[in-house]
Amino acid sequence: MKADRNKTIDISVEEGREYLKRCISLTEKAGLSEILDKTILGNTLEILSLLPENTTHPTQKPEKLLAKLILASSNEGDVVPDPFLGSSSTSVTAKKLGRHYIGIEQNEQYCVGAEKRLYMAEADKTI
C-alpha cells in the first residue's frame, strides 16, 4: 500500500478486500450494520459506491472529463440532459458547475446511488 501527495492510496485488490472486511467488522461491532443492508448494497464491491466518485457502475465517467465538456457546451443556469443517468456523474458535475440537470435511469439501484451522490454534491463542490 502506498499514498501520494494527492491523498490517493494505491492498494492491491487483496489489500482492498482485507480493508473492506475490517470496515465491515468494525461497523457491525459498532452496531451500525444497517448501513450494510444487502438489499441496497448487493455485495461488498458496492460499498465502494459510498465514496463520492467511486461507484460500481461499469461505464462511469470521470468528473474532470465531464466538467470540460459541460463548461465548453453550456452556461451557468442551463439544463444538462443525462438520458442514461447510471452513476450520475454527468448530473453531479452539472450540479457542481451551477447547471440544472435532467437524469433518466431505468435501474432503481442506480437511481438510489444517484440520489446519494447528488445530495453529497451539495456539500462538496470539488471536481
pLDDT confidence of residue 124: 86
Query: What's the CA gap between 82 and 50, in Å, rounded?
Result: 21
The residue-averaged pLDDT of 80-105 equals 92
Q: What are phi and psi of 106, to 5 degrees?
A: -95, -20
Of 3 and 94, the structure prediction assigns the larger pLDDT to 94
Q: 12 with 19: CB under 8 angstroms?
A: no
CA-only gyration radius of the chain, Å: 16
Q: Which grid cell is 17? A: 478486500
Task: Provide the percentage of residues in the chain whose pLDDT is more than 70.
Answer: 54
Class (C level, CATH) for 63-123? alpha beta
pTM of the model: 0.56
Query: What's the CA gap between 60 and 85, in Å, rounded?
Result: 10
Q: Which grid cell is 57? A: 457502475
pLDDT confidence of residue 48: 43
Using alpha carbons, select from 117, 122, 96 the residue that is nearest to residue 52.
117
Q: Where are the domains of the chain?
A: 2-36, 63-123
Q: Where are the beta strands (DSSP E) in 19-123?
A: 79-82, 100-103
